[in-house]
């Protein structure tokens, strides 16, 4: 029970004894900026698996921690790289530590004090402070595999991002990732908000 790493399957992105959640493209409507590209893909009957999270919940007490092993697959919708839906914690003060295990990507962190984009790659660590929306983006060609470690009482809140998406997008620009203002990106293909 204590040797958590021995229970990881980094190829399949699972933790033995964990709970597996799968997210397909059709479940991420609203997360991607280019809704036309998303609808085109779905209308061809192509609904790829975008990411999975395998979660181990070590109790629910005040001092307990949960561990999630995330696998975010490579791909793009239009120019925008595959991403997670993003959330903040239901108890917003809960912070989280992400540890990159494989692949290359970025995390978008957004709070009332602003938005930052931080590399999440193998052997890197990203600290997500409390009161911060967080999303993972795969900018590479292989699966991005990472751990998230957070208080058992943190919970997940997806609602605040339903109405207001992250202020930036991470898009392909000539084969390399570039961070753009969402409004500017939407305006570039004729969508104005």
| 77-116 footprint of Fe ion as x/- string (CB under 5 A) | -------------------x--------------------
Question: β-strands 96-102, 125-128: how paired?
Answer: antiparallel
Nearer to Fe ion, 103 or 148 (CB): 148
Q: Which sign does the torsion angle of CA 15, 16, 18, 24 carry?
A: positive
Instruction: Rank residues 157 and 172 by Cβ distance to Fe ion and give the closer one.
Output: 157
- d(C-alpha 187, C-alpha 193), whole Å: 8
Q: Which is nearer to Fe ion, 80 or 96 (CB)?
A: 96
Task: Identify the residue whose tokens are 């980094």.
Answer: 10
149: how many CB neighbours lie within 10 A of its CB? 13
Told to check if 133 binds Fe ion by CB under 5 A, we report no
Which residues within the stretch 30-59 sit at the binding site for Fe ion (CB under 5 A)?
Answer: none
d(CA 74, CA 66): 26
User: With contacts defined by CB under 5 A, how many residues of the chain interact with Fe ion?
Assistant: 1
Least spacing, CB of residue 187 vs Fe ion, in Å: 30
The least CB distance from residue 152 to Fe ion, in Å, is: 12
| CB of 48 or CB of 59, closer to Fe ion | 59
Least distance (Å) from Fe ion to the CB of residue 59? 18
Point out the residue whose Cβ comes nearest to Fe ion: 96
| CA separation for the pair 176, 99 (Å, rounded) | 23
Q: DSSP of 23-49, one letter per residue?
A: EEGGG-TTTSS-HHHHHHHHHTT---E
Binding site for Fe ion (CB under 5 A): 96
């Amino acid at each position: 029970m204590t040797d958590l790493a021995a229970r990881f399957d980094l190829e399949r992105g699972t933790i033995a004894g964990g709970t597996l959640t799968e997210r397909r493209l059709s479940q991420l409507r609203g997360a991607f900026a280019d809704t036309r590209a998303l609808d085109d893909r779905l209308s061809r009957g192509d609904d790829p698996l975008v990411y999975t999270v395998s979660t181990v919940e070590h109790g629910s007490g005040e001092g307990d921690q949960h561990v999630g092993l995330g696998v975010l697959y490579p791909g793009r919708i239009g120019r925008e790289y595959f991403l997670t839906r993003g959330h903040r914690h239901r108890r917003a003060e809960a912070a989280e530590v992400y540890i990159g295990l494989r692949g290359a990507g970025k995390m978008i962190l957004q709070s009332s004090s602003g938005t930052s984009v931080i590399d999440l790659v193998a052997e890197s660590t990203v600290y997500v402070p409390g009161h911060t929306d967080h999303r993972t983006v795969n900018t590479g060609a292989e699966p991005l595999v990472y751990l998230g470690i957070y208080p058992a009482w943190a919970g997940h809140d997806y609602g605040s991002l339903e109405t207001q998406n992250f202020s930036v997008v991470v898009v392909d620009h000539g084969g390399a990732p570039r961070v753009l203002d969402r409004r500017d990106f939407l305006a570039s293909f004729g969508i104005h908000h």
